[in-house]
Amino acid sequence: MKENIELARNRDFGDIISDTFVLIRQNFVPLLKSYLVICGLFLVTEIILSSAVNMNREETSLFTPLGFAEFVFHCINYAALILTTQAYFAIYKDRGNQTPGVIEVWGYFKYYFFRVFFAQILAIVGLVMGFFVCFLPFVYLSVVFSLIIPIMVIENGSIEYSFKKAFKIIKGNWWFTFGLLLLTSIIIIMVLLVLMVPSFIIYGSAQWLTGKNMDTTASIIQSVIMNFTQVLWIVPTASITLAYYSFTEEKEGNSLIERINSFGKKNPGMDQPSSEQY
C-alpha cells in the first residue's frame, strides 16, 4: 500500500498536480464524510434557495430578499467547504499524515468559521474593488487571496497576519499559483459539464415528447447538480494546500526544523491530536 502523502515538502508544478489527486484518493471517504456531516445543512439550504431563485426569475437580483439570501448562503457554503477541507488537512499534518475524525474536524471548524467567513467577506470586497478599478488587480488579488484560509487555519493566524503572509509568500510564485488554480478549475468545469449535459438532454427530450413546460423540474435538477458538485472544489483547495506547504518549505524550511526538534521524541502521529485546544 502506498505511503500517505506528506504535506510539508517542496514540490514542483507537476508534483503538486499528481499529489493532489493521490491525496484526495487516499482521504476521499473520511474527507467527504466530514464535509457532508459538517456542511450538509448549509448545502441543503443553498439548494432550496437556489431552486427558488431559478423558479422566480424576477427574484434573481442581489437586491431582492430571496436573491440576497441565496448569495449569503452561497458564501457560507463555500467558506464551509474550504474551511472543512483545510481543517481536515491541518489535523492530518499534525497527526503525522493520519486520517482525522469528524469530531476533530468539527473542533477546528467551529473555532475558525467566523474568522474565515469575515476574511472571505473582506476578500470579496477587495476583489469587487479590484474588478471595477481594473481587471488586472482582480486577477492578481484572486490568486493571492486563495492562500489566506490555508495560512489562517494551518498557522492559526489572525486575519491581518494571514493577509500579510499571503502577499509575502506569493512573491515569485504568482504565476505558479495562477497556473495551478487555472488548471484545476478547468478540470472541475469539464467534469461539471459532463455531469450537466445529460440532464439538459433528458430535460429537452422530455419537454419535446410531452409538450409540457418542465422549467420548474429543470430548475430544481440544475440547482441540485450545481450545489452537490461544489464538493469538486476540494480539488483546487487541496492543490492550494500543497502549494502553501511548498512555498513555506522553500522560504522557511519548516519541516526540516520540525524534524530536528523531533529527534528523540515519540512519533507525532501516535500522539493525541492538538485540536482539543480549539
User: What's phi and psi for 2, nearest 5 deg?
Assistant: -70, 140
pLDDT at 199: 67
- Cα–Cα dist 248/9, whole Å: 9
Nine-digit cell at 1?
Answer: 500500500
- Cα–Cα dist 144/8, whole Å: 20
Please give the chain's pLDDT, 278 residues, in tens. Answer: 467 888 888 899 999 999 999 999 999 999 999 999 998 888 888 888 877 776 666 555 666 777 788 888 888 888 999 999 999 999 999 988 889 999 999 999 999 999 999 998 998 888 888 888 777 888 899 999 999 999 999 999 999 999 999 999 999 899 999 999 999 989 888 888 887 777 667 666 666 666 555 566 666 777 777 777 788 889 999 999 999 999 998 877 655 445 445 444 443 333 434 444 44
pLDDT at 108: 94
Find cell 439548494 and name the residue: 47
| Under 8 Å between Cβ of 66 and 52 | yes
- Cα–Cα dist 177/13, whole Å: 9
- Count Cα neighbours of 137 within 13 Å in the Cβ-side half-sphere: 12
pLDDT at 181: 92
pLDDT at 194: 82
Nine-digit cell at 232?
Answer: 469538486
- Count Cα neighbours of 25 within 13 Å in the Cβ-side half-sphere: 11
pLDDT at 118: 92
The residue count for the chain: 278
**Domain map (residue ranges) of the chain:** 13-260
pLDDT at 192: 82
The span from the first CA to the last CA of the chain, in angstroms, equals 33
pLDDT at 210: 63
| Under 8 Å between Cβ of 155 and 165 | yes
DSSP calls for 210-224: H----HHHHHHHHHH
| Under 8 Å between Cβ of 35 and 231 | yes
